[in-house]
Amino acid sequence: MSSGDVWIIGTSMTPFGRFEDKDLIDLASDAALDALTDADSTISDMGVVAVGNVYEANSHNGQRLQKQIGQTGVPVYNVVNACATGATAVRVALLSLAAGEADTALAVGAETMGKMGMLGEAAKSRDTKKQYSRKGRYGSVLKTEGILGTGLMPGVFAQAGTEYALRHGVTDVQFARVAQKNHAHSVLNPLAQYRKEFSLQEILEAEAIAYPNTLPMCCPTGDGAAAVVLVSDARLKTLDPDVRKRAVKISASVLTSDPWVESGQVQPDVNTLTRNAADAAYEQAGIGPQDIGLVELHDCFATAELIHYDNLRLCEPGGAGEFIDSGAPWREGKIPVNVSGGLLSKGHPIGATGIANLYEVTAHLRGEAGERQIEGAKVGLTHVIGLASACAVHILEARPTSGSEVG
Amino acid sequence: MPNSIGHRMPQQIPIVDYLVLSEPPHLEAHACTGCDALYFDRRNACAHCGGTEFTRKPLSNEGRVRAYTIVHRAAPSVPAPYTSVVVDLDDGGVVKANLLDVTGPEHIEPGMPVRLGTYVAGVDDDGVEAVAFGYRRQEDAA
């Protein structure tokens, strides 16, 4: 008898970085083909394909990918959902399996951001007469960025951090410790965009971007892709024992958006939808935060990681500052967080991020993470959040090693 | 307060239409008649309760700092550093703007009281002044 469980049987990610000789589809192909090989499958075995990407989302990248790796005629879903795009592509694939449309699925996330920089491209200079007129839903007569506060990502996540800090007494040193940890972790990850350790002092004294975040407390832009191959429980039972024993179960898959709050129109609330997603995921998986062996969470900025300790229930309410001070989220700690180096050093090619964190956790649950392996990890949690807003949480479990191997 | 509004000859226009240049200048929101949710922009329906009726509601010029950041690396053509604050307004509403005359975290305390102020943020080729708003610490503005 088969359950409604969905399993990861193959996964891959490209190194994250800047690849001038590869375009978006090259990267997507690399990740997809390698994930299929890892699954001992081919594109012909896949019943559905979902492809996530943000910056070229109107290019139908799923079909562009098929033209490079196999036009098999199966349904293709092109997915965009802010920084949760990759994770949402996985959910689309999973939902297709759950609906019985297919029993195998390939989900891919890819992005090329190149050197667009943290704040996007410079505005074009104008050569027409400057004449104020009210534009848009706010009737604004000139650009409000820098006049009515900031709405750019470094500032938004800095404000999310200071809101928590003003309430709970977190210091800039505690925020900086998050970056110290993730950069230290990244040294062990050959796929990370940056693999350089920084001292706490170096982080605190680095170029200020948006207080309290300095440059090493902000993730880089970059290029990369990641992929997973999913199968239904029934399909898994038909596969080779070598594939089955490396299979990782998706125990929870949850997507949320941001419920209305009064402050949301001026400062996105990144907390409520993360808490809602985490709580639903724990319930779906039937486990609690104390059961989690490792976490890959969305550290787009150091301030973000710290508040998500609380949002994902990894620490006592209000206790995220003490949590980092205690060493708990370090790889030797109680709940290792972002042992990949996180977005801060591994990188954040937006469409790939929500699948790359599944790749990381799967590697550990299979015991295949090499030098950075968290020994004995049986359960892992992944989290991404993008402003729009969208949040995805997945809980993965290693396949039990004894008693269940039949047929 | 510099650039007091209302008696100057140059034509003025508010930077956004939720800033009202009366005496004194203040903010006005669209308030949902069903649930009192406040919006600075035009909404098709209330994101909180789904209601479709709105009235204009003047907001308090005083409030308290809820969150902030000091932006050092700013968007192109924006002078830095500057301080962005999210302010909980007395009697309801949350607004974001610059905290004027402050660029150090040591000057910001939890729940610090602030008061709205206005200034000319730009002039177009016809001489029309765009009036912006920001907040000052009440101890500075007093």
Chain B residues in contact with A130 (beta carbon < 8 A): 124-125
Residue A145: other Cβ atoms inside 10 A = 20
Which residue in chain A is spatially nearest to B97 when comparing CA positions? A148
For residues A88 and A187, give the distance between their C-alpha atoms in angstroms, rounded to a whole number. Answer: 29
Which residue in chain B is spatially nearest to A117 when comparing CA positions? B75
For residues A337 and A351, give the distance between their C-alpha atoms in angstroms, rounded to a whole number. Answer: 21
Are A166 and B111 in contact (CB < 8 Å)? yes
Triad A18, A24, A29: Cα angle to 5°: 110
Q: Does A208 contact B at CB distance below 8 Å? A: yes
Burial (0-12, 13-18, 19+ Cβ within 10 Å), A111: buried
pLDDT tens digits in sequence order for chain A, 407 residues long:
467 899 999 999 999 999 999 999 999 999 999 999 999 999 999 999 999 999 999 999 999 999 999 999 999 999 999 999 999 999 999 999 999 999 999 999 999 997 777 776 555 556 688 999 999 999 999 999 999 999 999 999 999 999 999 999 999 999 999 999 999 999 999 999 999 999 999 999 999 999 999 999 999 999 999 999 999 999 999 999 999 999 999 999 999 999 999 999 999 999 999 999 999 999 999 999 999 999 999 999 999 999 999 999 999 999 999 999 999 999 999 999 999 999 999 999 999 999 999 999 999 999 999 999 999 999 999 999 999 999 999 999 999 875 444 43
CA distances from B28 to B51, B64, B74, B93, B113 (A): 19, 18, 28, 10, 20
Give the pLDDT score at A406: 45
Give the pLDDT score at B10: 81
Are A162 and B68 in contact (CB < 8 Å)? yes
Chain B residues in contact with A139 (beta carbon < 8 A): 14, 16-18
Are A141 and B13 in contact (CB < 8 Å)? yes
CA dihedral over B98, B99, B103, B105, signed as positive or negative: negative
Instruction: Judge if the upstream peptide bond of residue B14 is cis by omega within 30 degrees of 0.
Output: no
Residue A321, classed as helix, strand or coil, is helix
* Gap from B15 CA to chain A (nearest CA, Å): 5
Please answer whether residues B16 and B131 qualify as being in contact, where contact means their C-beta atoms are separated by less than 8 angstroms: no
Please answer whether residues A288 and A395 qualify as being in contact, where contact means their C-beta atoms are separated by less than 8 angstroms: no
List the beta strands (DSSP E) in A268-316.
294-296
Q: Does A116 contact B at CB distance below 8 Å? A: no
For residues B56 and A371, give the distance between their C-alpha atoms in angstroms, rounded to a whole number. Answer: 61
Chain A residues in contact with B16 (beta carbon < 8 A): 138-141, 144, 148
Give the pLDDT score at A400: 83
Domains of chain A from N-terminus onward: 6-115+220-397 (3.40.47.10)
Indicate the residue of B79, B96, B134 with minimum beta-carbon distance to A266. B96
Q: Which of residues 12-71 of A touch B (CB under 8 A)?
A: none
Residue A128: other Cβ atoms inside 10 A = 6
Give the pLDDT score at B1: 45
| Residue ranges, chain B, pLDDT below 70 | 1-9, 141-142
| Mutation target vs A (from B69, B100, B124; most A CBs, 10 A cutoff) | B69
Give the pLDDT score at A342: 98
CA dihedral over A360, A364, A369, A373, signed as positive or negative: positive
Which residue in chain A is spatially nearest to B40 when comparing CA positions? A138
Q: How many CB pairs under 8 A join A and B?
A: 158
The residues with which B71 forms a beta bridge, in sequence order, are: A210, B82
Q: Does A238 contact B at CB distance below 8 Å? A: no
Give the pLDDT score at B140: 80
Domains of chain B from N-terminus onward: 12-18+60-141 (2.40.50)
Q: Which of residues 247-266 of A touch B (CB under 8 A)?
A: 260, 262-263, 265-266
- The backbone torsions φ and ψ at residue A56, rounded to the nearest 5 degrees and listed phi first, read -120, 35
Q: What tokens were used for A177?
A: 């410790």
